[in-house]
Chains A and B, each alone.
Chain A
């Protein structure tokens, strides 16, 4: 028997000419546009991101400058008021948002890269490689990350955003590695992976072209969670005084507000913006993540 052109199956399938990639893409988009969690979450994150990356161009280079009258509540000139020393809180806030995103991208990125590499290799290779990497992952996972970070960072003389991000990344990867590993374990047994092996493909190409693309939505969501985690960890470190030595961050703003008794003096405008900022960014990231999950996971979709 031969499949002749114009056989019923083919004519029928021609009604649905869009290829899978586009079909899946447009389907995801269809649900994405209708998912309020995704829209609200990404809206808030984008708004903060624009503020952090564009805002500083309209402000003075040094947000810690003593520019104005001291202890002013929010007003027309100083939108978020000023500190006890006359620093512009709005300027500090904008720079703080920027460093929050930098630390999230960099710290989250480092953790993501390590976690992905370890997870892919462990899940794909299996056997003794898996056993060793899994042990390493578990050891790092049970280390009290915050304590280790405090000790490690306290030893450094000069602390920059990137050192902080690097340290956060080095401590945050284990759970991402475990998640990627378990996904890889299941994907690595798929027949098309065996077929790629039979086609003489090398291991790393199989991982990057066969395994990873099929869990891309999963990887995106892992990265978002790592991003949020890095932001929170950085805020914690900044708050106890282990932030970048010469920069501004939302955590450091909170720290100085507390140090200079803003709470007791009723200077709410000093601690509310950074606190709300961190909460809004991290909260929006998690809402965004839940939204993405609903878009990518057909079981969570509501028709």
Chain B
């Protein structure tokens, strides 16, 4: 459904654009319908940039992003872009900053209506909105006709997902959508994503938190400095990390029932085997090697 091939993003930085900052380097990945793909990385790994490029908010420097056969980097004009957003929507990190503070929260629904459903009668539209709100498991009485500051982060985030569901979406880009939420409510939003996946929605889940990526996704992509370090089925990536960087990350994640000392001791007892990593022929490429079926490792960038 969604395919990124050889996507690069280079920013010009400094006075007169003299310097260059490579944010995304030679990224190839796919998202299938009903599949949740986690993009996991630390700050500066390019994970959010990839999300924004898929949403058409940034344009890649080179490479193609294909959605159902159309290269979206070639989309020009308002009408075509609008059509793309009918099928691809995003939810962002900070639910409070997604709502214009001076308007009521339901205005995000009205915007969708005026752009995409101008002819829909009030009654039909209302049904549609109530249906979407029920899907995200909110009580309409609690959330409709309220200002953003009267709602909690979890409620706002679910309203934004409901907004996306009003359209005929096939792909949802979820950019760090739960990092601002409290522990007691973030799990509900994660469970909601799992439900949407069951309905055949493809989800690109961008996160810095390994345990969250692990909870919800089918496929995990670990990014470092813009390039893919490791990619594969989530279970395999987490149970048998092959890239030294992934191993390092996993050993640093604070776990709830194992201390760092225990994790280190385990690693020392059974040191993982070294895997042959690909080498990049030049600055621009980042090849992958298929170490086992569907499980890829990328270049080392120490």
Contact = CB atoms under 8 A, between A and B. Distances in A.
A198 B150 contact: no
A221 B89 CA distance: 37
B92 A195 contact: yes
Contacts of A190: 97
Interface centre among A2, A199, A214 (most CB of B within 10 A): A199
A1 B137 contact: yes
A20 B97 contact: no
Interface string B114-127: 01100000000000
- The number of chain A residues touching the other chain, given as a range, is 20 to 34
Interface in B142-166: 142-143, 146-150, 152, 155, 160
Given A3-B138, A199-B115, A191 B92 contact: yes
Contacts of B150: 13, 16, 19-20
B14 to A, nearest CB: 15
Contacts, number: 81
B115 A5 contact: no
A198 B89 contact: yes
A213 interface: yes
A4 B90 CA distance: 27
Contacts of B89: 198
A230 B84 CA distance: 48
A197 B152 CA distance: 24
B85 A191 contact: no
Given A191-B93, A194-B92, A213-B102, A199 B108 contact: yes
A201 B81 CA distance: 10
Contacts of A196: 111
A7 interface: yes
Contacts of B152: 9
Given A21-B102, A198-B55, A199-B111, A191 B97 contact: yes
B82 interface: yes
Contact of B142 (A10, A21, A201, A202): A10
A24 interface: yes
A298 to B, nearest CB: 14
Contacts of B102: 20-21, 24, 213-214
A210 B100 contact: yes
A200 B77 CA distance: 11
B168 interface: no
A197 B115 CA distance: 11
A109 to B, nearest CB: 24
A184 to B, nearest CB: 15
B108 A195 contact: yes
A192 interface: yes
Contacts of B111: 195-196, 199, 201
B57 A194 contact: yes
- The number of chain B residues touching the other chain, given as a range, is 35 or more
Interface string A234-276: 0000000000000000000000000000000000000000000
Contacts of A201: 111, 115
B188 interface: yes
B278 interface: no
Contacts of A200: 78, 81-82, 85-86, 115-116
Nearest to B86: A200
A154 to B, nearest CB: 40
Contacts of B146: 19
Interface centre among A4, A190, A202, A213 (most CB of B within 10 A): A190
A3 B137 contact: yes
Nearest to A24: B102
A20 B147 contact: yes
A1 B152 CA distance: 15
A241 B120 CA distance: 64
A5 B141 contact: yes
Nearest to B101: A20
Interface string A177-195: 0000000000000111011
Interface in A65-117: none
A3 B92 contact: no
18 contacts: A2-B137, A3-B143, A5-B141, A10-B142, A13-B150, A16-B150, A20-B150, A191-B97, A192-B99, A194-B90, A195-B108, A198-B89, A199-B111, A200-B78, A200-B82, A200-B116, A210-B100, A214-B102
Interface of B: 55, 57, 78, 81-82, 85-86, 89-90, 92-94, 97-104, 108, 111-112, 115-116, 137-139, 141-143, 146-150, 152, 155, 160, 188
8 tightest A-B CB contacts, nearest first: A200-B115, A20-B147, A200-B82, A199-B111, A191-B98, A191-B92, A191-B97, A19-B147
Given A3-B138, A199-B108, 19 more contacts: A3-B139, A5-B139, A10-B142, A16-B150, A19-B104, A19-B150, A20-B101, A20-B102, A20-B148, A21-B147, A191-B98, A192-B100, A194-B57, A195-B98, A198-B90, A200-B85, A201-B115, A213-B100, A213-B102
